[in-house]
Amino acid sequence: MQANKEQKKAIEWNTGPALILAGPGSGKTFTTVERVKYLIEVHHADPSHILVITFTKAAARQMRERFLKRMGQKPCPVSFGTFHAIFLHILKISRGYRSGSILREKEKREYLRTVLSGMKGEFPMEKEWEDGLLAQIGYIKNLGKMPEGFLDCGVTKEQFARIFMGFQQLLREAGRLDLDDIAAAVCHLFRTDTEELARWQKQFRYILVDEFQDVNPAQYEAVRLLAGASRNLFVVGDDDQAIYGFRGSDPSVMRRFTQDFPEAVRIELSINYRSKKGIVECAGRLVEANKERFPKKIRAANDEGEKTSLSLYGKLGTAGGNVCGRMAAVKKTAALALKEEEGPGGIWKSLAEDQSVRAGSFPNKKEEAKELIRLIGETQAKNKSDTIAAIFRTNSDAVWLAAALEQAKIPFVMREQAKNPYDHPVCRDLLAYLRFAKVDRSRGQFLQIMNHPGRYLARQRIPEGQVDFTALKEAYRDKPYMQEILARMQTDIMRIGRMDLYAAVNYVRKGIGYDSWLCREKSGKTLEEAKAAADFLQESVREFRNMEQLEEHLEAYGRALEEGSQKEDAGQGTEGLQECEKRPVELITMHGSKGLEYDVVFLPGCCEGTVPHKKSASGKELEEERRMFYVGMTRAKKKLFLTWERGTKESPGFASRFLYECGYKD
């Protein structure tokens, strides 16, 4: 590969700080590798003085392999590693830390539980809060300070401060660190020990940082100090692809770099070698709606190719436009003369020659899945070697398509482990009500529901085998008030048994008072998740006429998740497949898709409330949601499909504002 003009300028930059703004598919890895080669062969830098920092082990390994190949496989002691690996190496040598000094995930939870055990009685601690608390602790450490706002992790600001300080105290007493402490520990080392700082500055005279937009404040400060007086800091990134705010990353670090290094050269890698022109331009219009960014113009390598188009099938109704009333103020783009065409799954709206970007609506998930399965089948039949991915906002959003792929016998892998949403305690409760009322009067089903909501029934009084209300009343003959409770429960179960599945779930939630009970038992994030689980199940059962169909769906759902995850765990990805084989469809989140590319990409769930998420519909959170969508879009090389569920009159869905920002006009 020959370097283009922009890449050549970056590669041959002499010395001093440099900010390389590298858009999607612009060859940033190539540029970084060639930069290292240039430093050694032309600038005569000692290879042992060069440090290349990446964010993942895979990226570090790939970059090292590409570099060694370019150097003819001759030994070359350039240091390639992740932030964690490099910083831990420094702490090992300078402060005597060992690999065993770093807490494992299981140990982190044990330390947290120790702290919480000393705060019993202050709040109703729930197991589900552990993940939120640990995430918030890591966020604080990466940010380097206590933020103004806190993630909702079920405790007050004052309680969290005590939990955080207690957690850190336990680590100090044990002489341990967790991964999020490492960067802060290196910063402390460099600020307090000038001799050690000078030692490492002498060791690493040339520093190159990949994916610089994902650096958190603690990591940036450590690298800034390490650069020292030489200031040979070469950073490569794209603020439009900064999507790890939940870990403390902030694209504003890139702007801080230009303030700390005002003499830094700024070079833009603006040519996208990955995607068709239509994809590049639609994605570009989207991300231009963000205010906090470096202005840049990314263009496709085939800039002389087809016209840009956004073609749509299904009707993007005016209601969707009402949700995004401000869309009228979005930057005006060239009018897209859409033409209606009848096609499978609904109305297609397409534009002229370029069919690289398509979007469409469906009445429900079942129809959306059916159309995606058809399109995937067509793609695989046309070209077996094409790589295909379905990219989702979250893991849980992917499982419905996994089930559909399993049923259609289409091979797939899940790059990230997804939890089965039907395994949520709330879903288990509601399913147990349906099963007990309609098909299964076993003791196990009854135990699941008997005190949800609270009825004060005792397990020891529930007979083995099939549960009979007459026998239950007899078991409670000494308690008249329990007779009334059981009679009311019996009536409720009879009513549920006569209802369709959707109405039955609704009756449990509203008629029996399950939702009110949840509000009494849970709070904060846990309550929100519980309500979301109930909504998910209620909408899911709407599509099934009876319990037999629902149970078949649940079985396929679970099997799809298990088998898809096993395939990925076993390394059965797209690599190494024979040319005659169909490549498995990859299911992945927007976060997980970073750095990957596919011939054909599907982005299902393009609805308001999903993208952007309903909790992130304004401010910095909205801008990060837009960047995530941008990352998802720019994984596509040839084709990009954007789909959404328009719902029903009772429960309508609206097209994401991001579709309008891509260029769609009613």
d(CA 614, CA 598): 28
Mean pLDDT within 202-210: 96
What is the chain's percent helix, strand, coil content, to nearest 5? 50, 15, 35
Q: Which residue has the higher pLDDT, 230 or 123?
A: 230
**The pLDDT value given to residue 169:** 93
Mean pLDDT within 185-200: 95
What confidence category does residue 340 fall into, taking pLDDT thresholds of 50, 70 and 90?
low
**The pLDDT value given to residue 402:** 85
How far is residue 158 CA from its own chain's centroid?
A: 29
**The pLDDT value given to residue 306:** 41
Q: Would the pLDDT of 633 be above 50?
A: yes
What confidence category does residue 359 fall into, taking pLDDT thresholds of 50, 70 and 90?
confident
Mean pLDDT within 411-438: 89
Write out pLDDT tens, residues 440-460.
999 999 999 999 999 989 988
For the chain, give the percent of residues with pLDDT over 90. Answer: 51
What confidence category does residue 166 fall into, taking pLDDT thresholds of 50, 70 and 90?
very high
* β-bridge mates for residue 209, sequence order: 53, 235
**The pLDDT value given to residue 36:** 97
Check: CB of residue 405 under 8 Å from CB of residue 368.
no
What confidence category does residue 208 fall into, taking pLDDT thresholds of 50, 70 and 90?
very high
Q: Would the pLDDT of 514 be above 90?
A: yes
**The pLDDT value given to residue 128:** 60
Q: Would the pLDDT of 323 be above 60?
A: no
Check: CB of residue 655 under 8 Å from CB of residue 371.
no
**The pLDDT value given to residue 553:** 86
Q: Which residue has the higher pLDDT, 577 or 23?
A: 23
Write out pLDDT tens, residues 25-52.
999 999 999 999 999 999 999 999 999 9
What confidence category does residue 317 fall into, taking pLDDT thresholds of 50, 70 and 90?
very low
Helix (H) or strand (E) holding 414: strand 412-414
d(CA 326, CA 307): 27
SS3 271: strand
What confidence category does residue 329 fall into, taking pLDDT thresholds of 50, 70 and 90?
very low
Write out pLDDT tens, residues 456-512.
899 888 888 899 999 888 888 888 888 899 999 999 999 999 999 999 999 999 999
What confidence category does residue 634 fall into, taking pLDDT thresholds of 50, 70 and 90?
very high
Q: Which residue has the higher pLDDT, 516 or 250?
A: 516
Mean pLDDT within 100-106: 87
Q: Where are the alpha helices (DSSP H) in 500-603?
A: 501-506, 514-521, 524-541, 547-569
Q: Which residue has the higher pLDDT, 340 or 199?
A: 199
**The pLDDT value given to residue 474:** 86
Q: Would the pLDDT of 535 be above 50?
A: yes
Structure tokens at 633: 């879009």
Check: CB of residue 311 under 8 Å from CB of residue 358.
yes
**The pLDDT value given to residue 398:** 84
Phi, psi of 522 (to 5 degrees): -130, 170
**Across the chain, what does the average pLDDT equal?**
84
**The pLDDT value given to residue 316:** 41
What confidence category does residue 354 fall into, taking pLDDT thresholds of 50, 70 and 90?
low
Q: Would the pLDDT of 632 be above 80?
A: yes
How far is residue 483 CA from its own chain's centroid?
A: 50
Q: Count CB atoms within 10 A of the CB of residue 465.
A: 9
What confidence category does residue 305 fall into, taking pLDDT thresholds of 50, 70 and 90?
very low
Write out pLDDT tens, residues 423-433.
899 999 999 99
**The pLDDT value given to residue 652:** 78
Q: Which residue has the higher pLDDT, 608 or 229?
A: 608
**The pLDDT value given to residue 567:** 52
Q: Which residue has the higher pLDDT, 153 or 652?
A: 652
Q: Would the pLDDT of 315 be above 60?
A: no
| Cis previous bond, 425, omega within 30 | no
**The pLDDT value given to residue 154:** 64
What confidence category does residue 353 fall into, taking pLDDT thresholds of 50, 70 and 90?
very low
What confidence category does residue 665 fall into, taking pLDDT thresholds of 50, 70 and 90?
low
Q: Would the pLDDT of 238 be above 60?
A: yes
Task: Give me the half-sphere count of Cα atoms (radius 13 Å) on the Cβ side of residue 555.
Answer: 7
